[in-house]
Amino acid sequence: MAFNFTAFTYIVALIGDAFLIFFAIFHVIAFDELKTDYKNPIDQCNSLNPLVLPEYLLHIFLNLLFLFCGEWYSLCLNIPLIAYHIWRYKNRPLMSGPGLYDPTTVLKTDTLSRNLREGWIKLAVYLISFFYYIYGMVYSLIST
């Protein structure tokens, strides 16, 4: 049983995906708190906006590792979400700093439900990816 670059990639992806799962859970909880009026939208957006770019960059970094080691199924599993992240960041509201969430529009019913649905979908993709990475890591360790 040898330790190769593919196994290293899957180990890094598991650790990184655990962080992405926490980001997605925080995202869902934050918008649920806004929906139930527990939090001020300005405070909530100030806590969410600094997490947007690290989440996106970590997700892209993990998939670059998959690209470099030739793990095409793992890469294809995440390409739609990466494309959505890029589209979402390009079409974000006009703001003074980095981030996606504008406190003046975040409480609109359609915006709030879209952001909450986005959080649940990202959580589902990250969980599916996590379990697939466990399978990929075990398979890459056994096959070498």
> Given this model, what pLDDT does residue 144 score?
61
**Amino acid, single-letter form, for residue 57:** L
pLDDT at 11 over 80: yes
Domain locations in the chain as residue ranges: 5-143
Using the 8-state DSSP alphabet, how is residue 140 labeled?
H
CB atoms within 10 A of CB 101: 23
**Is residue 52 a contact partner of residue 98, using CB atoms and an 8 Å limit?**
yes
pLDDT in tens, 54-112: 999 999 999 999 999 988 998 999 999 999 999 988 887 777 777 777 878 777 888 88
d(CA 116, CA 109): 11
